[in-house]
Amino acid sequence: MDAAATRWIFLALFSCFCFCTGAGPMYKLDPSWPGLSSVFTGPVYSAAVDDKNGEIYVSQRGYRNSPVLVFNTSGAFLRSFIYDPEVINMVHGMRMHHNATSGKRRLWLTDVGDGQLGYTIKRFSPDGETMEFVLGTPGKKGNGTSPLQFDQVADVAISDQGEMYIVDGDGGMNNRLLKLQKDFKVQWLVGGVNGSKPGQFYIPHSVELDGVGRVWVADRMNGRLQAFDTGNGRYLGEWSSCFTDGEPYSVRLSADQTHFIVTQLQSDRILFVASPLKPGTIGNCTIMDSIQLASGSHPHLVAVSQSEGAFYVGELGSKTCQKYMRVT
């Protein structure tokens, strides 16, 4: 079956299986994106959106596969990063960050590989030609904070002020959430051991900021989202009732900030969970809508376009990245 036919099947499944609490579905598949799906040659793990330049970065793995592919919002393939396992070994999460002061845009990606630059977070120029900075201790896993060490560092969120929130624990020794100041010094740390109590984690897999002083973690193997105060790391609450049929793999805030986009890899499902719009208590977990994908799609990490309102999801099983547009 060719890629175009596969995308149309996904669209049909969306129409058949999506359940909605409102008058209609919240999102619809864009079957024309990407225009050249054959460019994907390995499992697709994550995406990052450069809203100011209208570019979408998509990561994949595999021997001799380019680790990052770049498209425009219409789906045209623009360029790719050079395959070099000594530079990017096993990419996992990605974020594009615009520096408000300098105006520069930089791509950050987490590398869970064990190569000479593994166990780190890396910053690249947008064209991928220059690796500008490596955060962590290259090639050496650990749980230290000075010098900073990671193990299976899964995902990163970056505030407008340049503070970094990192989940380190996609398997391995560390199960923790860290906040780094702009100078990359650790400001606070939550967790650190494998556990299920409030403030503990069992594979923290994705992290997101909600714009009202909270940082959210997809605590994968505990089947919950946990929320913490961005200022001091204080535990604010958790949601688990929405995830009884599949662990949450990704958490991303929608462009209008009304809901989180949460993937469930094992159940091939994408949930839209209402977001608390005000600071303070998080209340109960409420599913607003969902998308049931084809069996074996395995949706992994998500990126949200602030300009389009669309989101992009990497799929391990189908080896592609899908684009979903907001229904207005």
pLDDT tens-place string over residues 209-259: 999 999 999 999 999 999 999 999 999 999 999 999 999 999 999 999 999
Cα 152 to Cα 72: distance, rounded to the nearest angstrom: 30
- What is the per-residue DSSP string for 234-286? -EEEEE-GGGTTS---EEEE-TTSSEEEEEETTTTEEEEEEPP-SSS------
Whether residue 322 has pLDDT greater than 50: yes
For residue 247 the two structure tokens come to 């662990």
- For position 59, which CATH number holds? 2.120.10.30
Residue 311 lies in domain: 3-326
Contact of 150 with 136, CB cutoff 8 Å = yes
Q: According to the model, what pLDDT value does residue 231 have?
A: 97
Q: What is the pLDDT of residues 159-215, one digit of tens each?
A: 999 999 999 999 889 999 999 999 999 999 999 999 999 999 999 999 999 999 999
Q: According to the model, what pLDDT value does residue 23 have?
A: 59
For residue 276 the two structure tokens come to 């608390």
For 63, residues 6+ apart whose C-beta sits below 8 A from its C-beta are: none
Contact of 109 with 58, CB cutoff 8 Å = no
Rounded average pLDDT over 80-86: 96
For 2, residues 6+ apart whose C-beta sits below 8 A from its C-beta are: none
Q: According to the model, what pLDDT value does residue 99 have?
A: 86
End-to-end CA distance of the chain: 32
Cα 175 to Cα 281: distance, rounded to the nearest angstrom: 24
Q: What is the pLDDT of residues 255-288, one digit of tens each?
A: 999 999 999 999 999 999 999 989 988 999 999 9
Q: What is the pLDDT of residues 91-119, one digit of tens each?
A: 999 999 998 888 889 999 999 999 999 99
Count of domains for the chain: 1
Q: According to the model, what pLDDT value does residue 9 have?
A: 45
Q: What are φ and ψ of residue 137, in 5° steps? A: -105, 105
For 38, residues 6+ apart whose C-beta sits below 8 A from its C-beta are: 3
Whether residue 20 has pLDDT greater than 50: no
Q: What is the pLDDT of residues 131-158, one digit of tens each?
A: 999 999 999 999 999 999 999 999 999 9
Q: According to the model, what pLDDT value does residue 1 have?
A: 47
Rounded average pLDDT over 60-72: 97
Q: Which residue has the higher pLDDT, 328 or 97?
A: 97
